[in-house]
Amino acid sequence: MRDARRPPRRPLAPKSPIEKAMRFKPAYIVVAAIVAVVFAYLLARPLLGHGDKGAKTDARTKAAAQNAPPLVQVSVTPEAAHPYAVVLRGRTQAARTVIVRSETAGVVAAAPVLVGTYVRGGAILCRLAVDARQAALDQAKAEVTSKALQMNASANLAAKGFRSRTQVLTDQSGLDQANAAMRQAEVALRQVDIRAPFAGVFDHRDAEVGTYLAPGQPCGTMIELDPLLVVGDVPETDIGRIRLGAVVHAKLVSGENVTGWVRFVARDADPATRTYHIEVRVPNPGARVRSGLSADVQVEAGVGPAHEVPVSALVLDAAGRQGVRYVTGAGVVAFAPVKVLEETPGGVWISGLRGQAPVITVGQSYVSEGQKVRLSSRPAAPA
């Protein structure tokens, strides 16, 4: 039985959201509060001016970086004695080229030498038909014999008083004329043989068997290849370093290397190119090297100071001169025009610097003369 004095039990009302939130753990509440504070700070930061301050700081940093001297790398190269050489392009050339011509008229009866054959001096290149030349010589010899007999008879008669001195002189004159005619006939007979004027190569034939040659017409061309010449033209800036007798090394386009010496240096420049012609005498036994081959020529010009630098260190200045940029003791960029002496696997040898030169090897294309620079590492002189 229900107790009449106890009030009846009321049904439970549903809980509100606040009451439900109150049941969350305290740690969740702390995290939520921190997130809310950070979010509020990010929203209020532009209003407080912190964004402009950061942007200004970044701008100042960038401006400082832009105004700082550029960074370069240098390599200290010592001065060394190196052979100087004048380098030029040249070509091989025959020492002599002669067109062999006929001295008399006649038809070519024989051509005993093949084109391109090496022949000795005096070899027959073309032989003309003898025709009546042998008969003329025989007649001249007979005339000499007759005049000699007549002269002897006159001399004997004059010794006995039967012939005057004048008659003897006349007969002597006739004998002399006969001798002259005989020599002339001998020369005419020898001229049917057109001979090589020197030892060399019969390079070209102009007359074949059956060709009629008048006096002065060519039989063929002879070239002398031993010694051989290497010729070239030297710029006026280098001609003062060329000396007669200087040793010359030439690399031919065929891959052969030859050595000779300067035998001729022109005294007058070519008015069109302002260059001076030189000739180099090169031994060529057996005519193994041909005429007309292109060649890279190096003329030895003594020994002088030089520096070896990387090929990449070479630059051009505003005037188009080739040179290198280096750093002075004050950290300023300077330019030195140089001349390439020799290319090697390790770099190039140049002239134009003095002493130990801190040459810029990285960054040389991005700096200019008079500009202040920084060194990426302190250059140390080589041991």
The residue ranges of DSSP E strands in the chain, in sequence order, are: 71-77, 80-101, 106-110, 118-119, 124-128, 193-195, 200-205, 212-213, 218-235, 247-252, 257-265, 275-282, 294-309, 315-316, 322-327, 333-337, 339-344, 347-351, 357-362, 374-375
Domains in the chain: boundaries: 71-82+304-375, 87-92+224-302, 104-219
CATH fourth-level superfamily of 87-92+224-302? Efflux pump adaptor protein, beta barrel domain (2.40.30.170)
> Are the beta carbons of 318 and 352 closer than 8 angstroms?
no
- Name the burial class of residue 217, with classes exposed (0-12), middle (13-18) and buried (19+) by CB atoms within 10 angstroms of its CB: middle
Note down pLDDT in tens along the chain; length 383 residues.
Answer: 445 555 555 555 555 554 554 555 666 677 777 777 777 777 766 665 555 555 555 556 565 556 678 888 888 888 888 888 888 999 999 999 999 999 999 999 999 999 989 999 999 999 999 988 889 999 999 999 998 998 888 888 888 888 888 888 888 898 999 999 999 999 989 999 999 999 999 999 999 999 999 999 999 999 999 999 999 999 998 898 899 999 999 999 989 999 999 999 999 999 999 999 999 999 998 888 999 999 999 999 888 888 999 988 999 988 889 999 999 888 899 999 998 888 888 888 888 888 888 899 888 888 888 889 888 755 444 43
- Cα-based distances in Å from 266 to 13, 84, 92, 296, 297: 127, 21, 17, 20, 17
**pLDDT for the residue 302:** 83
Given the candidates 2.60.40.10, 1.20.1250.20, 3.40.1280.10, 2.40.420.20, the CATH classification of the domain at 71-82+304-375 is 2.40.420.20
d(CA 251, CA 257): 5
**pLDDT for the residue 1:** 43
